């Protein structure tokens, strides 16, 4: 993690000059208890009453002539007490006015401010009235002072907001109808709230580069940019890869990459998140969907073992993009580009129907259509004679959720009599200096904990192929068919298996060799938990129903258990967790219900954790599946 991202800006990133509003004591118009007015100077003050000993109490020291008045005593020691729009607020010292106003329900508009970036104070739309300043002050840069009275809705403030909006829109192109940011754009939202006036520009707008490709994943529309510099500050301060800068002067100022370079960071798409307007756009998401048609579901990224908290944006039964979701302990407000683009496996190449028999029939051969019941019976018929045999092995994927693994490995131990489990999953990849880890499996830690709790030993995948080739393993039950080696190479070994029952999410050369193939749901299609690399267990929610005939791994394991005479009554992932998680001591403190994130974000203009600070997701429910190329 970068050093800069371990601490939040205090709101006073720049030292104010001497005599600035933040150095001036509070004015007399604050609340009486927290900001007592200075009394009038009297030549002959009244005599004070004598104490018990007859000695008058000492007089308070008078301030030196011409000096500043004494600072008000804090009403709440250790905190700052002030008034915002007539409501008292108590905040920590150093809290800026924007954050303080949020605590009492007052909204101060802003573009350039971001709570995880340094303060720029260059958009000027957050100027408000403060009792200890003669002029309007920037709320993003100014910390709260004791006894301060702040007003955010006065005519003077409203006129300032209107003027700033008019200035920002002076050269902004009116292309909302084709802009991907439409529907989640702060420029649109604030125009309707703070300006709502026609342009007074006479002549043509300043023309700039309309489609500037900054790198492999980001394109820039310089005409839409309002020079808030969020993207520049993000690249400088979070991944510490300064690849963007501000060039030019005046109305010809623009954001661009440095000459001879491109925006090729693994965190480049975070600049699209923090951009408050439609200037920076994802080349992957561009022109794919309107934001008001998308619904957002809190989930977990499966791109690596970091397990970044995300919001999955979807429509119908297609996932369109991942956005980072606030999680202070894991990814704060960011995520890497590799994880952000890992959603594509949810849409294409899915196993949608069950199959009995290997999938390598002659061209034109029609596979028989099987119901889920028929598929389960086919798997039971294949596995039942092998229960307790040393020739039966189990392959478990660390891409499966804790609930899937709890049910699947419990079935493998209690019904199939297996004591060892081979670990599959994706191969190791590259790590970076910030969030991305080399382990590309989201639940390897959870698999290790569950195997330990159930008394199963884990074996490396590299031992499975030699065991198959030597004839030691003749049957395989797989919870997930992802393998850390070349899939085609392992498929040659799998072809030697007499029985291969595979629960799979995506088609591959390995699934083609399955004697019984059972379609499994993706994590986005069910509820559950993952345990990431640091041992933190997170809940994710269901976005839309499973594609085709797919059901979760835990459900297949439950049906197979019942068909083979075992006891399994789970009807949901929650039931699986409540019934089986007690066997894993590390899960004892995790409350499955209380750890659940909200199933939907509130409609309207909300600050979202991705840094867009006002992107409302759509709220359309799922419909019929559609075929869409990605």
* Number of Cβ within a 10 Å radius of residue 194: 20
Round to whole Å and give the CA distance between 534 and 531: 8
292-346, what's its fold?
Answer: Phosphorylase Kinase; domain 1 (3.30.200)
pLDDT value for 52: 43
pLDDT value for 360: 61
pLDDT value for 40: 39
The DSSP code sequence of 591-620 is -TTTTPPPSSPPSSS---TTTTSS-PPB-P
pLDDT value for 451: 95
Q: Calculate mean pLDDT across residues 86-92.
A: 94
Q: Is the pLDDT of residue 570 over 60?
A: yes
Round to whole Å and give the CA distance between 464 and 394: 10
Per-residue pLDDT band at 67 (split at 50, 70, 90): low
Q: Looking only at Cα atoms, what is the longest distance across the chain?
A: 114
pLDDT value for 450: 96
Question: Picking from 45-59, 194-208, 434-448, which range would have the lowest pLDDT averaged per residue?
Answer: 45-59
CATH no. of 175-189+200-282: 3.30.70.20
Round to whole Å and give the CA distance between 579 and 75: 52
Query: Under CATH, which architecture does the 355-587 domain have?
Result: 3-Layer(aba) Sandwich (3.40)
What are the residue boundaries of the structural domains of the chain, listed by start?
81-165, 175-189+200-282, 292-346, 355-587
Share of the chain above pLDDT 70, in %: 82
pLDDT value for 68: 65
Q: Calculate mean pLDDT across residues 509-517.
A: 94
pLDDT value for 369: 74
pLDDT value for 363: 54
Per-residue pLDDT band at 200 (split at 50, 70, 90): confident
pLDDT value for 39: 39
Q: Do 534 and 550 contact (CB within 8 A), yes or no?
A: no
pLDDT value for 253: 92
Query: Under CATH, which architecture does the 81-165 domain have?
Result: Roll (3.10)
Q: What tens digit of pLDDT does each residue of 422-454 get?
A: 999 999 999 999 999 999 999 999 999 999 999
Q: Do 90 and 81 contact (CB within 8 A), yes or no?
A: yes
pLDDT value for 9: 41
pLDDT value for 606: 36
Share of the chain above pLDDT 90, in %: 67
Considering the entire predicted model, what is its pTM? 0.81
């Amino acid at each position: 993690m970068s050093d800069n991202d371990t601490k939040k800006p205090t709101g006073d990133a720049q030292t104010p000059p001497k005599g600035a509003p933040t150095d001036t004591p509070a004015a007399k118009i604050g609340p009486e208890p927290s900001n007592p007015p200075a009394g009038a100077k009297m030549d002959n003050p009244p005599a004070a009453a004598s104490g018990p000993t007859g000695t008058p109490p000492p007089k308070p020291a008078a301030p030196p002539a011409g000096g500043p008045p004494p600072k008000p005593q804090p009403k709440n020691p250790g905190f700052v007490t002030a008034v915002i729009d007539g409501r008292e607020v108590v905040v920590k010292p150093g809290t800026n006015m924007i954050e303080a106003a949020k605590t009492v329900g007052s909204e101060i508009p802003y573009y350039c401010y971001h709570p995880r970036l340094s303060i720029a104070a260059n958009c000027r739309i957050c100027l408000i009235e403060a009792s200890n300043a003669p002029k309007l002050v920037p709320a993003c840069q100014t910390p709260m002072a004791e006894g301060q009275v702040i007003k955010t809705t006065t005519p003077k403030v409203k006129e300032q907001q209107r003027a700033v909006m008019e200035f920002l829109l002076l050269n902004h192109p009116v292309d909302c109808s084709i802009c991907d940011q439409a529907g989640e754009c702060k420029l649109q939202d604030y125009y309707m709230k703070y300006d709502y006036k026609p342009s007074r520009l006479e002549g043509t707008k300043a023309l700039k580069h309309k489609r500037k490709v900054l790198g492999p994943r980001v394109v820039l529309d310089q005409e839409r940019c309002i020079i808030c510099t969020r993207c520049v500050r993000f690249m400088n301060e979070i991944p510490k890869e300064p690849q963007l800068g501000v060039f030019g002067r005046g109305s010809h100022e623009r954001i661009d990459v440095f000459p001879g370079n491109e925006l090729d960071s693994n965190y480049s798409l975070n600049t699209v998140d923090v951009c408050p307007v439609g200037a920076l756009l994802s080349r992957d998401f561009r022109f794919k969907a309107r934001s008001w048609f998308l619904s957002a579901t809190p989930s977990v990224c499966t791109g690596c073992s970091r397990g970044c908290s995300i919001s999955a944006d979807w429509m119908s039964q297609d996932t369109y993009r991942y956005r980072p979701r606030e999680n202070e302990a894991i990814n704060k407000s960011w995520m890497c580009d590799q994880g952000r683009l890992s959603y594509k496996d949810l849409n294409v190449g899915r196993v949608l129907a069950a199959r009995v028999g290997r999938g390598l029939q002659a061209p034109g051969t029609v596979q028989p259509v099987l119901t889920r019941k028929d598929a389960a019976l086919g798997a039971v018929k294949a596995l039942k004679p092998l229960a307790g045999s040393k020739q039966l092995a189990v392959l478990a994927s660390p891409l499966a959720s804790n609930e899937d693994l709890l049910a699947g490995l419990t079935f493998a131990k209690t019904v199939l009599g297996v004591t060892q489990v081979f670990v599959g999953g994706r191969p190791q990849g590259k790590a970076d200096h910030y969030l991305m880890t080399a382990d590309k499996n989201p639940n390897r830690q959870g698999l290790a904990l569950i195997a330990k709790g159930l008394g199963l030993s884990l074996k490396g995948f590299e031992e499975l192929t030699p065991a198959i080739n030597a004839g030691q393993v003749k049957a395989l039950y797989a919870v997930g068919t992802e393998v850390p080696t070349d899939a085609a190479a392992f498929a040659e070994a799998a072809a030697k298996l007499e029985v291969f029952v595979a629960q799979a999410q995506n088609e591959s050369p390995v699934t083609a060799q399955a004697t019984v193939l059972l379609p499994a749901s993706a994590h986005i299609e069910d509820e559950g938990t993952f345990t990431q690399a640091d041992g933190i267990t997170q809940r994710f929610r269901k976005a839309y129903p499973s594609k085709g005939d797919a059901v979760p791994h835990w459900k297949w394991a439950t049906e197979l258990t019942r068909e083979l005479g075992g006891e399994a009554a789970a009807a949901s992932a929650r039931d699986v967790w409540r019934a089986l998680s007690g066997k894993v001591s590390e899960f004892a403190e995790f409350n499955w219900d209380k750890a659940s994130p909200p199933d939907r974000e509130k409609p309207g203009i909300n600050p979202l954790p991705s840094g867009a600070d006002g992107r409302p997701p759509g709220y359309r429910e799922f419909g019929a599946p559609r075929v869409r190329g990605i």
